[in-house]
């Protein structure tokens, strides 16, 4: 009679570590709006190359720091991306505390003041449009820190993320540009963005693009 074998407990399976799953990648589809974005942004980049070079030189001569400024923004479906602008300040804020620029802000450089008034600091965002992170027309993307602040105070704030963010938008050509010192100021902008999301069309985009230079020249108010 054989001796009883000792009871062996199965070894526990190794525990898998929690893996943070990144948000799904939103790939731009070739729609009429996307075709307009690609065609016009590429044409503008090529046409503005001498101007871009001149602005870069002036920034380099005016103050210390990089020529371009990258800051995390939130785009379509909550996707984070890094917006590209010409640097207009002595500081490079991109974190939990991002203070909006105001008129006479001492952080703004001499060249930066001109760029902000004329919105020429936005020209590098044509690269964001070509990459599909932005559109020529759409709700303006805000700093991630500002998104966290306003989403807790404005019920329909995230509705604007149903469209790809734009260099210009319905809110901007209807007076909702510049700083938003009060929550009511941002609410007004969000309501205009929501209207655009519900009524977006290629014809509306062309109308906004046509009105944008007139608004910049008439109001001279930094976005």
Mean pLDDT, consecutive 10-residue stretches, the chain (223 aa), reads 47 46 56 95 96 97 94 93 94 68 82 92 96 96 89 94 96 87 92 96 96 83 43
In a domain, 17, yes or no: no
- Residue 75 lies inside a defined structural domain of this protein: yes
Within a domain: 157: yes
Query: Among positive and negative, which fits the CA dihedral 81, 86, 88, 92?
Result: positive
Q: How many domains does the chain have?
A: 1
> Residue 74's beta-bridge partner residues?
80
Inside any domain, residue 39 = yes
CA atoms within 13 A on the CB side of 94: 15
pTM: 0.80
Instruction: Supply the range of the domain harboring residue 40.
Output: 31-221
Per the domain annotation, does 187 fall within a domain? yes
Domain for residue 64, yes or no?
yes
Q: What is the pLDDT of residue 104?
A: 74
In a domain, 21, yes or no: no
Q: Is residue 196 a contact partner of residue 171, using CB atoms and an 8 Å limit?
A: yes
* Per-residue CA distances from 97 to 44, 91, 100, 101 (Å): 33, 12, 10, 13
The predicted pLDDT at position 26 comes to 55
Q: pLDDT at position 16, please?
A: 43
In this structure, is residue 55 part of a structural domain?
yes
Question: In 98-151, which residue ranges form alpha helices assigned H by DSSP?
Answer: 110-118, 125-131, 144-151
């Amino acid at each position: 009679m054989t001796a009883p074998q000792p009871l062996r407990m199965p070894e526990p399976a190794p525990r898998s570590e929690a893996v943070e799953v990144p948000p799904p990648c939103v790939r731009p589809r070739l729609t009429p709006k996307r075709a307009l974005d690609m065609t016009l942004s590429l044409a503008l980049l090529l046409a503005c190359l001498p101007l871009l070079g001149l602005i870069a030189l002036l920034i380099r001569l005016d103050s210390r720091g990089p020529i371009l400024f990258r800051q995390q923004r939130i785009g379509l479906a909550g996707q984070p991306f890094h917006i590209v602008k010409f640097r207009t300040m002595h500081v490079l804020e991109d974190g939990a505390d991002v203070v909006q620029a105001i008129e006479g802000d001492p952080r703004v450089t001499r060249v930066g003041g001109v760029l902000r008034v004329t919105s020429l600091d936005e020209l590098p965002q044509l690269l964001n449009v070509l990459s599909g992170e932005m559109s020529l027309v759409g709700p303006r993307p805000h700093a991630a820190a500002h998104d966290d602040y306003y989403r807790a105070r404005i019920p329909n704030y995230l509705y604007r993320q149903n469209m790809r963010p734009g260099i210009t938008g319905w809110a901007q050509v209807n007076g909702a540009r510049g700083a938003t010192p009060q929550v009511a100021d941002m609410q007004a902008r969000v309501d205009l963005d929501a209207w655009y999301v519900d009524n977006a069309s290629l014809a509306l985009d062309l109308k906004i693009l046509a009105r944008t230079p007139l608004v910049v020249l008439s109001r001279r108010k930094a976005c």
